[in-house]
Amino acid sequence: MGNTNSSVIPTPTKTAFDEKDSILEVIDPLSEMHIAQPLSSDGSLTLGHVSSWEASSSADPKIRLARTIFSQSDIRSVLSSRSARIADQHIFNHVLDFKTGPITNQKSSGRCWLFATTNVIRYGIMRRLKLKDFQLSQSYLFFWDKLNKSNYYLELMIEHAELPIDDRLITHLSGDLISDGGQWDMVVNLIETYGLVPQSAYPESTHSSLSGPLNALLKTKLREHALILRTLADTLRSAHVREETVMSTLRAKKEELMKEVYNIMTATLGVPPNPNKRFVWEYIDAEEKVGRWEGSPKDFFEQFAAKPFSPVDSFSLINDPRNEYNKLYTVDKLGNIWGGRPILYVNTEVENMKATVVKMIKAGQPVFFGCDVGKFSDRDAGVMDTAFFEYENAFDIKLGLSKADRLQICESAMTHAMVISGVHLDLSGKPVRYKVENSWGETAGKEGYFVMTDAWFEQYVYQVVVPKALAPKELVAVFESGDKIVLPAWDPMGALA
């Protein structure tokens, strides 16, 4: 399988060398540049710079007006576009034929990917059982994810114990080592291993809704555990202990340390249902009839969530203009369950992603997607639109970064996962805007729903998840080939929504 680093798609070059052309290629760009002498030859910032800039700026009436307004107001509220607000109506001519509820709320946690996943899965369950209100337990998946991420981190520390403590990989892995966030393949790992339960079987706790204090404590302990394992590894190898014995000793010690993690988590989140033990779920449907089901969490998944489109048979399409399309990608050292399903992406043109979304909505299937929600979006209005804030006009600037530029310079990455539940098509069948179900409660957006413009989709949507049955056949073939290109651990495609 392939194992090459991420790279920018190369620009085609001339096949024959021409000295004249070569000279012109250098001269032409220079002739268009304004060559000037700096005020500071050593690169330092001086008061001369400030005086020069101020002399120009204070004479500009537009800048003077901007200083008057923006020094006393939030630029986002002042510069929100009236025309965009009018254009971005919460009206869609293709929506799912069944509305789920309630609007979920991840509160002060980074569990959006678990909420997006369970919001997608609950659609079929609610429709089948005719439920008015229903949630799957996000906390149940959160518990198993956090426990497994702790184990994953310590396994990586064992695997790379010989690297210097300040090696870039060790530093990266020890940064946000047990993030609340995740990716589609991670949730598939969890569902396959632990199943699903209704929220009533494992409800929210203080620290599932407010994950910061728990994360801080776990990170402190896990970094301590990492150093213990590294020291033990060095001691054993310095004594020339057989490698097989080294590994078994390290794993035995890791299991001892993981008990501390388990105790912290069960104390703060509660003991979760055993994936293989039966429990009873009673519910009331929309007609006020009482229903009863009995089985294990894994049974619940198999019976209610595996049809018509199983999460196991779905995969991620991404739009990453830095890298070649129609290729399979993964990110090194990214995962939650050790030895589980790897994180896999099929890179494709954004138009393919749009067409896939439209096809899924028309087929009655909600869409999990990953995006950079903080860019050109308004929480109160529930709008995501590249034209929503008039920054360029107000500050007389040009925001010229492309989607590829933003990824390369760390300006953008997947930060949030949500669900597309509708789309508005123009007369030619092209998408104009999308209906988005968020997990920020009913007070965000229009009763919990957002509108996303097609232009915003192009620039800030990076991922959509599609069942194989609804995906383009050629992209399914890329996914099933297994011939993946490995991106470095710190690549932006490793961002966890």
The DSSP secondary-structure symbol of 398 reads -
Residue with tokens 């291993």: 193
Contacts of 235 (CB under 8 A, 6+ apart): none
Alpha carbon distance 409, 218 (integer Å): 31
Alpha carbon distance 113, 189 (integer Å): 13
Q: Check 105, 112, 119, 336 and give the catalytic one.
A: 112
Two tokens at 292? 């009863």
User: 316 - beta bridge partners?
Assistant: 345, 465
Centre a 10 Å sphere on the Cβ of residue 255 and count the other Cβ atoms it contains.
Answer: 11
Active site residue 371: no
Active site residue 112: yes
Q: Check 207, 225, 416, 424 and give the catalytic one.
A: 416
With both helix axes pointing from N to C terminus, report the angle between 243-269 and 212-238 in degrees, rounded to the nearest 10.
Answer: 160
Two tokens at 170? 């060790």
Rounded to the nearest angstrom, the gap between the alpha carbon of residue 313 and the centroid of all alpha carbons in its chain is 20
Alpha carbon distance 259, 150 (integer Å): 11
Residue type, 410: C
Give the three-class secondary structure for 198.
strand
Alpha carbon distance 178, 155 (integer Å): 13
Two tokens at 446? 């229009």
Residue with tokens 């790897």: 342
Alpha carbon distance 309, 117 (integer Å): 13
Which residues are known catalytic residues? 112, 416, 438
